[in-house]
Amino acid sequence: MWLPDWPITVWRRQDRTPGARRSAPPPEGAPFALAPFALVERGARGLTLSALNPVARAAGLREGQAHADACAILPALASAPAEPERDADALRRLALWAERFSPAVAADALIPGQEGLLLDMTGGAHLFGGEAALLADIHARLARADIPARLAIADTAAAAWALARHGEGAQAIAPPGRTREAVEGLPVEALRLEGSALVLLRRFGLRHVGDLYGLPRAGLARRFRGPQGLRVVERLDQILGASAEVLRPERPAALYRAWTVFADPLADNESVAYQLPALAQALAEQLDRDGQGARSVRLVGFRVDGRTTAIEAALSAPAAAPAHLLRLLKERGLERLDLGFGIDALMLCADKAEPMRARQIETPGQDGADDVADDALAALIDRLRARLGDGAVGRPRQRESWIPERGEIWVRAEPAPPKAPDRDDERPRPILMFDPPEPVQTLAELPDGVPARFTWRRAPRRVVKAEGPERLAPEWWKAEASERLGPWAQRTRDYYRVEDEQGRRYWIFREGLYGREDADRIPGWWLHGVFA
């Protein structure tokens, strides 16, 4: 499936996506289909054209041309910034849509301007009425979505790629076993070669794929410098089927899966829940047989209208217990399955799996309490994620930083506690820290000395013991992060550990230095934490 001018198609369809906005207004004066338009990107020599609509291409413009030169040739040219990441994401989403025709769909975007999809239809075309009916169905669906496409079917992925882009007509079918005849008249550009290799082939008088058939492989490889000769031979073997080509689906097949098919479609979620225990047991047996545990499970319902509906859940630790998998899916919410007019098949699969951790059998004096606690914690995390969302459950992890406010970061919750960074300086830190620090009023015998008294939350406290100062300077190499922490993070801080007459211990600091930083400001005092 070739999608001509895919970036232009994505840009044109932006305003049809709910919540999306165009990066630039449409060309003025004439409809988009009649006005020259291009997407531009910034290169080493300034702005260049990265994609063109048919009107701009017909006017003589080309990809890679300088934007200034293009405007000089065609003053009416309208343009907008290119967004390659947006285009790649749209191609991935289209690949997932195409899974209604094949479970193995790969996005092909290696060559700019030749974006498309590769579908493995081995043994599946008859489900759609044959190859011609399949191409007609895909073409009609894409046309309704205003997505230009050229389609082709062949014995090899390389031959289908070549026929879609260089064949005749919007739909091409190479007869089974006759790929050699189907591609022999195509130009050498159909071999997916680099520009330098194409130049050499034409210099040798080799303009069509069929011109390479009678040449010895060894002699053909020697005609080029470096690996280009081997590349030409490899591409020729791939298009003829002599060399296999790996197809990497956008969503690989599940590692483990359990199926069940129904004579009468299931029309309600209660019926789906009734079928889940048997599916969970079958999947758990497959995992247990290989010593694996699921890290991601997915329940897929195949609807009678040809669509699918699914719910997914991630696990914090490998698990293969049927009860846990079943509970996790129910927490995720079976009501999220859109059954439509009913589903006639259910599939429970483990998209990701890891080896289960071997455990020591119980011996006298060891009751396995740690393993039980780890399992219970993992089950709790999984259930919370399933109910609240994957990003709603986290735990703090220590981070290397001199600034106390940046001393921890929230990470994805896992049963095993995150490893703390190694610290050469293990100075005591309060268990309870205030974010942000709270201001205090102090009274000191000397301006740079430890305060003799301070008032916090309207309560005066007399300092009887003090230790410090511990000076912490701003992390100048992380200026943006320091700006978000507040004004005290921009200046030097002197920390003191103090104790009042009732034995309560505090962590206070002076923000700034007298006569050094911001001389027009008097350093302030803040309480950052309380020791247990």
Global pTM? 0.60
- Between 364 and 224, the higher pLDDT residue: 224
Label residue 279 by pLDDT band (50, 70, 90): very high
Identify the CA nearest to 443 among candidates 462, 468, 424. 462
Query: What does the alpha-carbon distance between residue 498 and residue 443 come to, in Å, rounded to a whole number?
Result: 14
Label residue 31 by pLDDT band (50, 70, 90): low
Query: What does the alpha-carbon distance between residue 414 and residue 416 come to, in Å, rounded to a whole number?
Result: 5
How many Cα atoms are found within 13 Å in the side-chain-facing hemisphere of 433?
Answer: 13
DSSP string, 117-151: EEE--TTTGGGGTSHHHHHHHHHHHHHHTT---BE
Could you give the 3-state DSSP secondary structure of residue 227?
coil
Angstrom CA distances, 198 to 38, 73, 372, 429, stand at: 26, 28, 64, 67
Q: What angle do CA 280, 284, 290 make, to 5 degrees?
A: 155
Mean pLDDT along residues 256-275: 88
Q: Residue 17: its pLDDT value, please?
A: 46
pLDDT of 19 strictly over 70: no
Q: Residue 147: its pLDDT value, please?
A: 92
- Pairing of β 37-43 and β 78-81: parallel
Other Cβ atoms less than 10 A from the Cβ of 444: the count is 15
Query: What does the alpha-carbon distance between residue 381 and residue 393 come to, in Å, rounded to a whole number?
Result: 7
Q: Is the peptide bond before 437 cis (omega within 30 degrees of 0)?
A: no
Residues 466-497: tens digit of each pLDDT: 998 888 887 777 665 555 666 666 778 889 99
Q: Residue 424: its pLDDT value, please?
A: 53
Residues 315-338: tens digit of each pLDDT: 888 888 898 888 888 888 888 888
Give yes or no for a contact between 340 and 305, defined as CB atoms under 8 angstroms apart.
yes
Sheet holding 308-319, edge to edge: 256-266, 343-355, 292-303, 308-319
Q: Residue 156: its pLDDT value, please?
A: 93
With a CB cutoff of 8 Å and minimum separation 6, the contacts of 367 are none
Q: Residue 7: its pLDDT value, please?
A: 92
Q: Residue 454: its pLDDT value, please?
A: 94
Give yes or no for a contact between 454 and 525, defined as CB atoms under 8 angstroms apart.
yes
pLDDT of 91 strictly over 60: yes
Q: Considering the chain, what is the average pLDDT of its residues?
A: 83
Token pair, residue 505, equals 């211990």
Q: Residue 21: its pLDDT value, please?
A: 45
Identify the CA nearest to 397 among candidates 426, 420, 425, 431. 420
- Between 224 and 164, the higher pLDDT residue: 164
Q: Residue 8: its pLDDT value, please?
A: 92
Write a three-state SS string for 234-274: HHHHHHHCCCCCCCCCCCCCCCEEEEEEEEEEECCHHHHHH
Identify the CA nearest to 47 among candidates 28, 62, 65, 25. 65
Residues 376-391: tens digit of each pLDDT: 778 888 888 877 777 7
Residues 404-462: tens digit of each pLDDT: 877 777 877 776 655 655 555 567 888 888 888 899 999 887 877 888 999 999 999 99
Token pair, residue 401, equals 């930083």
Label residue 365 by pLDDT band (50, 70, 90): low
Mean pLDDT along residues 269-289: 91
- Between 23 and 489, the higher pLDDT residue: 489
Could you give the 3-state DSSP secondary structure of residue 218?
helix
Query: What does the alpha-carbon distance between residue 441 and residue 453 come to, in Å, rounded to a whole number?
Result: 8
Could you give the 3-state DSSP secondary structure of residue 309?
strand
Query: For the stretch 180-210, what's the b/e string if a residue is b when 16 or more beta carbons lie within 10 angstroms of its beta carbon?
Result: bebbeebebbbbbbeeebbebbeeeebeebe
DSSP string, 385-447: HHHH-GGG-EEEEE---SSGGGSEEEEE--SSPPPPPP-S------SEEEEEEEEEEEEESST
Identify the CA nearest to 302 among candidates 464, 127, 76. 127
pLDDT of 20 strictly over 50: no
Give yes or no for a contact between 284 and 292, defined as CB atoms under 8 angstroms apart.
no
Give yes or no for a contact between 255 and 279, defined as CB atoms under 8 angstroms apart.
no
Give yes or no for a contact between 49 and 70, defined as CB atoms under 8 angstroms apart.
yes
Other Cβ atoms less than 10 A from the Cβ of 56: the count is 24
Residues 243-252: tens digit of each pLDDT: 888 888 888 7
With a CB cutoff of 8 Å and minimum separation 6, the contacts of 252 are 351
Give yes or no for a contact between 115 and 82, defined as CB atoms under 8 angstroms apart.
no
Angstrom CA distances, 69 to 28, 61, 184, stand at: 21, 9, 38
Mean pLDDT along residues 500-512: 91
- Between 54 and 368, the higher pLDDT residue: 54
Q: Residue 425: its pLDDT value, please?
A: 55
Identify the CA nearest to 158 among candidates 35, 232, 244, 55. 244
- Between 312 and 364, the higher pLDDT residue: 312
- Domains of the chain with CATH codes: 24-82 (3.40.1170.60), 87-240 (no CATH), 256-360 (3.30.1490.100), 432-530 (no CATH)
